[in-house]
Structure 1
Amino acid sequence: MAACEVCGNDYDMTFEIHAQGAVHTFDSFECAITKMAPVCEHCSCRIMGHGVEANGSWYCCAHCARKAGETDIVDRVGAAHT
C-alpha cells in the first residue's frame, strides 16, 4: 500500500504519475488534479483540459486570456472576440 501525497490516504489502489522527472502517488484523480493541474491566471480555476498558453501564462479558456490582456487568443478559428 502507498499513501496519497495530497490527502495522505493509505490505499491499496494508488497510482503513480511520472512527470518532469518526478514520481507522484495519488489515490484519486481529484487529488492528482489538485496537485498537478495548472491554475488559470485570470479566474484561478484548475485547468483540466488543454487550456490556453500565452506569453508564459496559462488560462482555462480564451475568454480569461483576453480578460488578462491577451487580445489575439480565440476559442476557435472564425470566433468573434467578445
Structure 2
Amino acid sequence: MGVLNVTPDSFSDGGQHDGFDAALAHARLLVAQGANIIDVGGESTRPGAERVPLAEEQRRVLPVIEALSAEGVSVSIDTLHA
C-alpha cells in the first residue's frame, strides 16, 4: 500500500502532493514501485493540525480518487468523516 497525503500541511511529506498533478504523479510512482492500493488522505493528523471540514476534504481527495479509479488503481481513503 502506498500513502498519498493531499494536504498542504502533511507532516510526513511536507505538503508536496497537495496539488492534483503532483498527487497523481506521486500515486503513479507508488504504483510503479509496487503499491497495489493507494491510501488517499485529505486531512493532516500532525500534532496541532486543525480539523478540515468535510467539504474541503472532499474537494482535496475526490478528483484524485476518481482519476486513480479511472486508471484501474485500487484506492482506500484515510478519513475521520466515515
Q: Which has the larger radius of gyration?
A: 1
Q: TM-score, structure 1 length as denominator?
A: 0.22
Return the structure number with greater relative CO, CA threshold 8 A, min gap 6.
2
More helix by share: 2
More strand by share: 1
